[in-house]
């Protein structure tokens, strides 16, 4: 059984900085932020309980297990901020059975981690939740002492800064030659034009070797400063940290309302406002990019309909601009027909054609062979769910897996009939630009 208590704390604290400073070796921790969304930040430490699953039913299995666990928990009233109160951090790999490569060993195919400590900042207020696992024969005084010790480890802190002039040699290399990626895109285009499927997303891995171990706290701080509109996340498990700045919402569930965003079609940004506007206008008029975007929007609408009274999408895509790239995005909203959990809805949507393929049954199995990499949690889902089964999960994009002095960076693009291999390779370089400048010295 779980027992959870929430209280207001000093709003001057930086939740992510507190967790980064207090985390212990090997224990799970997480920071999730969307700075321009009224300063929203959720940071968690430790594990009072953990739920795991794998296989094709992993989303539904975890949703059911979490429903039972939360219903049996002792907790005070939920907070008003998203993610406050009794909460679980959600992480899902792209593939049903997760990453098989050794570097993904700490990241299961599906996991819900109930933290011992969570800090939520929203609209200038900060709440702290302490959760403990309680057994019938527990000594109340010993349990209280453990809780007090956990709280005593927390302290006001600032995030570490990236070294502006690092010493030593950094090397950057693709896990596979760029020519391999162009050839994979060319093969996919041939299959699409032959009518095998409509779209497939192909990703690359680019590795950064540093002279010293990467500091995930410093990289997180730089990401949230550079990408304040994105879902900035860092999930620490074992000796590794998975972090990124994703522009893509997979699903948000608030009571009987659900929302998602179809995000597909991209172009670069420019420091010149006139050029930037021209690039955006050209993207809006691009037949290839609009076709790619429409595939994603149709699938999301279709996936939500069985759970909803109605589903509606914006009539036209709009530009979604982040620091180094702009996308076509279509907001999609639904009125749910029943109390379907956020995790359950995420399972209905994942993977969207923005990271998988269409139809998925045909394109999906081809992805590993075409890419030649192990995606692990890249293009999976990261987020949270609470005791009311509300929650929010983003698609894990523009991300890297940090372990010691090695950073594995991931980026992908959607391949359709009109794709050009060289142009798609160039687009991955733009997307890798979110992290490579921060990691490569």
DSSP character string of 138-153: --HHHHHHHHHHHHHT
Phi first, then psi, for residue 310 (nearest 5°) are: -150, 155
Say what the pTM is.
0.95
CA distances from 46 to 7, 20, 28, 130 (A): 18, 12, 5, 10
- What confidence score (pLDDT) does residue 437 get? 92
| 76 confidence band (pLDDT: 50, 70, 90) | confident
- What DSSP letter does each residue of 335-391 carry, written as one string? EESS---HHHHHHHHPSPTTTSEESHHHHGGGHHHHH-S--TTTTSEEEEEETTS-E
Catalytic residues: 199, 248
Query: Residue 391 pLDDT more than 80?
Result: yes
| 65 confidence band (pLDDT: 50, 70, 90) | very high
Query: Residue 78 pLDDT more than 70?
Result: no
- What confidence score (pLDDT) does residue 405 get? 97
Tell me what the mean pLDDT of segment 154-165 comes to.
Answer: 88
Tell me what the mean pLDDT of segment 125-143 comes to.
Answer: 85
Q: For residue 195, is it left (φ>0), alpha (ψ between -120 and 50) or beta?
A: left
Query: Residue 141 pLDDT more than 80?
Result: no
Query: Residue 79 pLDDT more than 80?
Result: no
Of 280-284, 292-296, 345-349, 382-386, minimum mean pLDDT range: 292-296
- What confidence score (pLDDT) does residue 167 get? 85
Of 4-18, 74-88, 124-138, 425-439, minimum mean pLDDT range: 74-88
Tell me what the mean pLDDT of segment 17-21 comes to.
Answer: 96
Which of the two residues, 146 and 111, has the higher pLDDT score?
111
Evaluate whether 427 touches 188 at the Cβ level (below 8 Å).
no
Cα separation, 265 vs 49, whole angstroms: 40
CB proximity list for 437: less than 8 A, separation 6 or greater: none
Task: Please choose, from the candidates 110, 103, 139, the residue with its C-alpha nearest in 3D space to the C-alpha of residue 50.
Answer: 110
Task: Please choose, from the candidates 249, 267, 245, the residue with its C-alpha nearest in 3D space to the C-alpha of residue 259.
Answer: 249
pLDDT > 90 fraction of the chain, expressed in percent and rounded: 78
- Angle made by CA atoms 356, 111, 253, in degrees to the nearest 5: 70
- What confidence score (pLDDT) does residue 324 get? 84
Tell me what the mean pLDDT of segment 100-119 comes to.
Answer: 97
Q: For residue 235, is it left (φ>0), alpha (ψ between -120 and 50) or beta?
A: beta
- What confidence score (pLDDT) does residue 306 get? 97
For the stretch 196-220, pLDDT in tens is: 999 999 999 999 999 999 999 999 9
Cα separation, 107 vs 72, whole angstroms: 27
| Residue ranges of domains in the chain, CATH in brackets | 1-144+215-352+375-399 (3.60.120.10)
- What confidence score (pLDDT) does residue 219 get? 96
Average pLDDT, the chain: 93
Cα separation, 91 vs 250, whole angstroms: 13
CA distances from 356 to 27, 95, 264, 393 (A): 31, 10, 12, 17
| 341 confidence band (pLDDT: 50, 70, 90) | very high
For the stretch 299-316, pLDDT in tens is: 999 999 999 999 999 999
- Angle made by CA atoms 420, 425, 427, in degrees to the nearest 5: 95
For the stretch 178-199, pLDDT in tens is: 999 999 999 999 999 999 999 9
- What confidence score (pLDDT) does residue 394 get? 97
Which of the two residues, 244 and 433, has the higher pLDDT score?
244
Tell me what the mean pLDDT of segment 76-100 comes to.
Answer: 89
CB proximity list for 10: less than 8 A, separation 6 or greater: 126
| 256 confidence band (pLDDT: 50, 70, 90) | very high
Evaluate whether 383 touches 395 at the Cβ level (below 8 Å).
no
């Amino acid at each position: 059984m779980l027992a959870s208590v929430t209280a207001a704390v000093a709003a001057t604290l930086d939740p992510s900085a507190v967790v980064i400073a207090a985390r212990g070796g090997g224990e799970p921790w997480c920071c999730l932020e969307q700075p321009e969304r009224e300063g929203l930040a959720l940071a968690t430490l430790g594990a009072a309980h953990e739920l795991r699953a794998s296989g094709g039913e992993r989303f539904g299995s975890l949703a059911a297990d979490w429903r039972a666990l939360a219903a049996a928990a002792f907790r005070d009233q939920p907070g008003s901020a998203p993610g406050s109160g009794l909460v679980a951090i959600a992480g899902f790999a792209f593939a049903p059975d997760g990453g098989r490569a050794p570097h993904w060993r700490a990241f299961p195919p599906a996991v819900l981690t109930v933290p011992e400590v969570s800090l939520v900042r929203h609209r200038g207020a900060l709440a702290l939740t302490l959760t403990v696992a309680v057994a019938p024969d527990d000594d109340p005084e010993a349990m209280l002492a453990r809780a007090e010790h956990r709280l005593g480890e927390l302290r006001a802190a600032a995030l570490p800064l990236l070294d502006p002039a690092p010493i030593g040699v950094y090397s950057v290399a693709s896990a596979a030659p760029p020519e391999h990626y162009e050839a994979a895109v060319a093969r996919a285009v041939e299959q699409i034009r032959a009518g095998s499927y409509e779209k497939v997303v192909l990703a690359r891995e680019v590795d950064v070797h540093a002279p010293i171990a990467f500091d995930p706290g410093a990289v997180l701080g730089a990401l949230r400063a550079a990408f304040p509109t994105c879902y900035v996340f860092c999930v620490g498990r074992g000796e590794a940290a998975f972090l990124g700045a994703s522009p893509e919402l997979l699903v948000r569930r608030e009571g009987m309302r659900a929302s998602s965003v179809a995000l597909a079609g991209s172009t670069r940004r420019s420091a010149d406002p006139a050029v930037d506007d021209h690039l955006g206008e050209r993207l809006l008029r691009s037949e290839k990019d609009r076709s790619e975007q429409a595939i994603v929007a149709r699938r999301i609408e279709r996936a939500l309909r069985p759970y909803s009274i109605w589903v509606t999408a914006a009539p036209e895509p709009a530009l979604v601009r982040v620091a180094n790239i702009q996308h076509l995005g279509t907001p999609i909203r639904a009125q749910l027909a029943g109390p379907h959990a956020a995790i359950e809805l995420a399972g209905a949507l994942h993977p969207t054609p923005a990271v998988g393929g269409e139809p998925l049954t045909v394109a999906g199995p081809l992805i590993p062979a075409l890419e030649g990499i192990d995606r692990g949690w890249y293009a999976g889902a990261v987020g949270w769910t609470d005791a009311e089964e509300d929650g929010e999960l983003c698609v894990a994009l523009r991300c890297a897996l940090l372990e010691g002095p090695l950073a594995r960076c991931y980026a992908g693009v959607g391949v359709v009939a009109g794709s050009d291999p060289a142009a798609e390779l160039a687009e991955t370089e733009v997307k890798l630009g979110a992290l490579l400048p921060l990691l490569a010295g």
